[in-house]
Amino acid sequence: MPDAAADGDRVAKALARAGVASRREVERLIEAGRVALNGKVLTTPAVKVEAGDILTVDGKVVNEAEPARLFRYHKPLDLVTSHSDPQGRPTVFEALPKGLPRLISVGRLDINSEGLLLLTNDGGLARALELPQTGVVRRYRARARGRVTQEKLDTLKNGITVEGVHYGAIEASLDKAKEGPQGANLWITVVLAEGKNREVRRVLEALGLKVNRLIRLSYGPLALGTLLPGEIEEVGPRVIREQFAPHIAPANLPKGDRPLWKAPAAPAAAGPRRGAVELDRGPRTGRTGRPAQRSRKAPAEPAPKTEYKAGWAKPKPKPVTKPKAGPKRRSGGKPGAATAAPPRPGGPKPR
């Protein structure tokens, strides 16, 4: 068993520190009979693990806890924040690139939400950042339909109870409002420190708004930044030590300054095919605004110059003579026949 369990940690804590799952998920694994200690299947999480014990999950031995690692991930829409989904929907962890360690999520984003999702291999760190007592600030931007005033949003600073669930202080600011035929389209920035299930949606719905887009912009000191949907980036060890050391066991603190994982380089854009003629895309002309097409023909080679030695007479150019114009002829006449002048009006003069 990992050295971290030498002081007799509970099984849920030991598995969480080893990056198997969060403590809550470990309890579910135990209930399902998937965790065993020294070959004996556990039925309760109230068991301590001592040094030298062998802990297994689904028959696989749990390795020693690794140094804490943390990743920023831009979760796209239509992905479930779970390792598996009973309904067969695609999950976040199925969409991750290869070469990453086993990771668990810090909190969740529902299938219809997008934005920053933190992933870590340290279940203890994930648990600490999720707890409301830790007070980690989350920032969201919500697009909603309906009508609300800033004064009404300010009432959320005192907390609100929705369907028997109390939510703590929330800061909400109205960023933009645009009137439409079916109500106003609003953009609202929401800042909170609890992160309960579907908190932003439920709170805004209690104010008469319907959220149709939700983006998480930041989680604690980490921001979404310029990550595109589906992109992931590892947080450096120095940042982890400076920002999250109180939530990580000393033995699990990472060393060094550079991340261990880098995203694979994107394939370079394909250049022109070998032997293909590359067109010069000139200024756009014409009604369609399409680039003016240039000729694909290669320019004609200049005629070779004749060299003349000293004493040779250069040939004089032949004079250009214009052909003489022949007599005009009527249509259908014989070649060379003169064309008669047209008769005068009124006919010939009488003699």
What's the CA gap between 57 and 155, in Å, rounded? 47
User: What pLDDT, in 10s, does the model give residues 66-116?
Assistant: 899 999 999 999 999 988 888 999 999 999 998 898 899 999 999 999 999
H or E stretch covering 24: helix 23-31
The helix, strand and coil proportions of the chain, stated in percent and rounded to the nearest 5, come to 20, 25, 60
Count CA atoms closer than 13 A to 117's CA, side-chain side.
Answer: 31
Q: What is the mean pLDDT of the chain?
A: 80
Tally of domains within the chain = 3
CATH assignment of the domain containing 211:
3.30.70.1560
CATH assignment of the domain containing 47:
3.10.290.10
Query: How is residue 147 written in tokens?
Result: 């009508």
Q: Would residue 110 show up in a list of annotated catalytic residues for this protein? A: yes
Query: Is 331 among the domain residues?
Result: no
- Structural domain ending residue among the three candidates 25, 40, 61: 61
Catalytic choice (7, 110, 175, 280): 110
**Structural domain harbouring 49:** 3-61
- Centre a 10 Å sphere on the Cβ of residue 28 and count the other Cβ atoms it contains: 12
pTM: 0.67
pLDDT of residue 4: 44
Same domain, 46 and 167: no
User: What pLDDT, in 10s, does the model give residues 266-299?
Assistant: 665 444 444 443 333 344 444 444 444 444 454 4
What's the CA gap between 79 and 304, in Å, rounded? 69
Q: Are 53 and 37 in contact (CB under 8 A)?
A: yes
